[in-house]
Chains A and B, each alone.
Chain A
Amino acid sequence: MDDAQRNALLAGQQAGSRYALVMPRRVPLGLVGAQVGRQAGSSLDFKDHREYQPGDDLRRIDWSAYARSDRLTIKLYREEVSPHVDILIDGSASMALPGSRKAEGVIGVAAAIAAAASNSHYTHNTWIARDGCHPVMHGSDPPALWQGVDFTYKDTLHSSLVQLPPRWRSHSIRVVISDLLYMGDPLATLQLLSNNAAVIAVVQVLASSDTEPPQRGSIRLVDSETGQLQEVFVDASTQKRYRAALARHQENWSRAATQVGAVMTTLVAENVLDQWDLSPLVEAEVFQPA
């Protein structure tokens, strides 16, 4: 990380400290945070009894009940779910789009989420999606200690997930930070993310130049990841067509996110970095003021 990214990391951490991570209403599994989970677990809180079934932990047999009824009964306790957030940062080259502050925005938002998770007493781990998903050095620590976040990968987030999935913690809250600007079925990607996840939040971070096409004129487009060139004459019609394509793409992702129970929101890096306005995350019920 360069100095600008490091500064964004710290600023994001500071901004995120004003928020707490919110467990979405659609959390399907277990307890989040200090609440009990839906399944029987190893907490001290008693939930119920049931007959012993082969394979049950013998340590959980209620011998007193056996004495009273001569039936092996298993004492069920409520499961205590340890809330955890896995933050996956898209490490593709497009995330550090030249001429934009996109990389700073991505790092800042990731730091803010980590900071908000800490405010909610959630543990967190941070992953970077490159040639496979790798943990960020000191990614479980406060963001200020993170090391090794870079954006050099020349392929898509989906291929990285396929190549080497993160070792997610089971039932963790998974937050994916990416620009999502690649061809492919969003649902396929999200299904990889949703496997054994408590909840998924998709945070799309774009540069302002991603949201707004270039001004009128002849443009030689350069793909930041592949280096592929394409010449196009930009005018109002072209700009309109570009915006429509972006909206359609976002709609596809949003629809896919809905299908897997994920929430999705979009941030513009430059806007975030100017005032650290994270209200879109609040509106998406990912954050709430601490």
Chain B
Amino acid sequence: MPLALLALASLPALAAIYWLRNRYRRHTVSSLMLWQDTLQSKEGGTRINRLQTPLLFLIELAVLAILAFAATGPRFLSATTHLPLKVVLDDSYSMRATVGGAAAAAGDVSAKLTARDRAIKAIDAELRGGTYAVQFVLAGREPRVLGEPVRDVAEAMRQLDGWRCGSSESDLERAIAVASELGGARSRVLVITDRKPDTEPKAGLVEWRAFGVPTANVAFVGATRSRQPDRQRCLFEIANLSATATKAELVIEKVADGAAESSGAGVIERKTVELDANATRNVFIDLKPDAPAVRARLTGDALPVDNDVLLLRPIDRPVRVHVNIADQALAAQVNRALDAVDNVTRSETSAELLLTDGSSIRATDPRLWAVRFTVEPDAVPYLGPFVIDYNHPLTDGLALRGAIWGAGKTQDLPGRPLVTAGNVTLISDVEQAEGRHDLRIRFTPGSSTVQDTPNWPVLMWNLVQWRASHTPGPRDANVKLGDDAAIALDPRTESVTVTRPDGAVEKMPAGAERLLIPADQPGVWRVVTNKGDYAYAVNTMHRNESDLRDLASGDWGSWAESDKFRWEYRNIAWVLALIAVTLLVTHMALISRSTGKGVTNL
């Protein structure tokens, strides 16, 4: 085809021929008298002459252009059925970037359009230009189908309302794979993104269209809030994602707990942050232990979403522990280890975790987890080999090599073995139907050295944290966009309602002990259950996604290159050739008619 386009060079050649032909040669004559007849004739026929010369020229020009176009083998879509089209939509938040810069500041409307806005226009044009059954696949961290295939353009455009561009990343490869799987071998795949492909799509199955514009950006790329005994500390990482130094105005303010927006009255700090090119600066602030949520904002730029961070108070989740162990030596070891864990509170009446060496346990409260120690007089020291199920949260970090574990020989433990010495189970876990766990630990301190190794506090710390993780509520108050927000539910939970930052409400299934909610939208999320209300904040803090310097625009790949779609196209070269012949006949007719009439200027 590119070679055929070389034929277009004949157009300027023809124009040159006409120009040279029509260029006036200077000719000195004795008198213009003898030319009067010719001149008068020319003036009398001006209308005809002036019309016909460009007409013939235009006809010849059109013929050459048509033939050149025909040589490229043009085809048009001839299918009458709706062609399957899968549109992979980059759902990352960089698609919400505008052009920014001086143009946007000057009020240029086009400069305020995001890549998503531009892409939607292109999608609309594509859908209106063809006959498709279109289905959208969102390419976020995980591919997600936006809806069923639709044939109506308006309906398809309505589906795009669900394309929010809030993901922290876009796994386009997987999304393309899903789209291809959904569509089958005859389906076209259209990728809409803001970056160019790593490798240009081949085989004509995928068309890749990018709508990004490289732009400088200043963004929060990290933010944490931690609790310390006498204060809370916030850290904000601010990155200048450009090749030039810049300044950013940082405002940190208090926000009432649970409020999505600040009142504006509680500014904690306002400062100008100077940033070198490609530099990242950390900003710390200390808060009172009871300080509410804080919001940090940066000066507006091309991507507003990463200029805002909301940090809720860290979740304080103490575990009420009751130790009821008769063996003094064991009790002392247990209490000593529990004292080293910061979120342990002692409570005998409303304990959530009971550690005991007895057999009597109140099993009616589903919140009460029990750890039963079995101290055996005939215990023997086990040197190993110890087998540890590291998939259990209780065993995280345990390393028993070199330790001596004292336990009996014969007693078998019910439930899932977590630690064994050979074929002797030392720790087992029994999960009850209501979600409660009973741990069995065969441990005789007199025959063991484990309590003298780091393994002992590790085991106790794991035990408390494991129990804490099952305390109803979010695991973390502040979640990074793209991660999963883990919500522990009370076993008696009957209803769960999740309210997204944009106000969308979603009913979630109750019954599970833990709910994992993809944090795919920045802002404050709310989870309401019949056992409690919870909130957590999601923030965009992804350097790669906020770095807009690699954005690109352009088209890559073409469905027309695929042999699979060739049958859907009809070659129209013969039609063009026919038009060219018709024009040539007209051309000759005009010439012969004009010659017959004695018109001079043809």
Q: A232-B39, A233-B600, A237-B600 are in contact. Are A220 and B34 (CB under 8 A)?
A: no
Determine the distance from Cα of A251 to Cα of B109 in the docked complex, in whole angstroms.
Answer: 79
Tell me if A67 counts as interface (CB < 8 A to partner B): no
- For residue A243, which residue of chain B has the nearest CB? B34
**List of A residues within 8 angstroms of B21 by Cβ:** 217-218
A103-128 interface mask toward B, CB cutoff 8 Å, 1 = contact, 0 = none? 00000000000000000000000000
User: Is the Cβ of A238 less than 8 Å from the Cβ of B600?
Assistant: yes
Please tell me if the beta carbons of A97 and B32 are within 8 angstroms of each other in the complex.
no
B401 interface hit (Cβ, 8 Å): no
Q: How far is A97 from B34 in the complex, measured between Cα atoms in Å?
A: 15
Q: Given that A232-B42, A237-B600 are known contacts, is A218 also in contact with B30, CB under 8 Å in the complex?
A: no
Interface residues of A in 193-227 (CB under 8 A from B): 206-207, 209-210, 214, 217-225
Cβ–Cβ contact B39 & A230, under 8 A: yes
Interface string of B1-29 (1 = CB under 8 A from A): 00000000000000000000111111111
* Contact status B39-A97, CB under 8 Å: no
Q: Does B41 interact with chain A (Cβ within 8 Å)?
A: yes
Q: Which of A16-24, A41-49, A176-184 lies at the interface?
A: A176-184
Contact of B28 among A222, A244, A245 (CB under 8 A): A222
Task: Assess whether A99 is in contact with B28, with CB atoms less than 8 Å apart.
Answer: yes
* Partner of B24 from A218, A223, A245 at Cβ < 8 Å: A218
Total chain A interface residues with beta-carbon distance under 8 A: 37
Given contacts A232-B39, A237-B598, contact A98 B31 (CB under 8 A): no
Q: Which of B27, B30, B37, B42 contacts A245 (CB 8 A)?
A: B37
- For A13, the chain B residues whose CB sits under 8 A away are none
**A77 contacts the other chain (Cβ, under 8 Å)?**
no
* A231 at interface, CB cutoff 8 A: yes
* Contacting pair A219 B34 (CB below 8 A): no
Total contacting residues, chain B, CB less than 8 A: 25
When the two chains form their complex, are residues A235 and B600 in contact, meaning their CB atoms are under 8 A apart? yes
Per the bound structure, the CA–CA distance linking A98 and B42 in Å amounts to 26
Nearest residue (CB) in B for A217 is: B25
CA–CA, A99 and B30, complex, Å: 11
Question: Within 8 Å of chain B (Cβ to Cβ): is A246?
Answer: yes
**Extra 17 A-B pairs, beta carbons < 8 Å, given A179-B30, A220-B25, A223-B32:** A183-B33, A206-B30, A207-B30, A209-B29, A217-B25, A218-B22, A219-B24, A219-B27, A220-B24, A220-B27, A223-B28, A230-B32, A230-B35, A230-B39, A231-B24, A232-B39, A245-B37
Could you tell me which A residues sit within 8 Å of B by CB distance?
Answer: 94, 97-99, 102, 179, 181-183, 206-207, 209-210, 214, 217-225, 228, 230-233, 235, 237-238, 241-242, 244-246, 249
25 residue pairs from A and B, CB less than 8 Å apart: A97-B29, A102-B30, A181-B33, A182-B33, A206-B30, A209-B29, A210-B30, A214-B25, A218-B22, A218-B23, A220-B27, A222-B29, A223-B31, A225-B31, A230-B35, A232-B39, A233-B49, A233-B601, A241-B37, A242-B34, A242-B37, A245-B33, A245-B36, A246-B34, A249-B34
B residues adjacent to A (C-beta < 8 A): 21-39, 41-42, 49, 598, 600-601
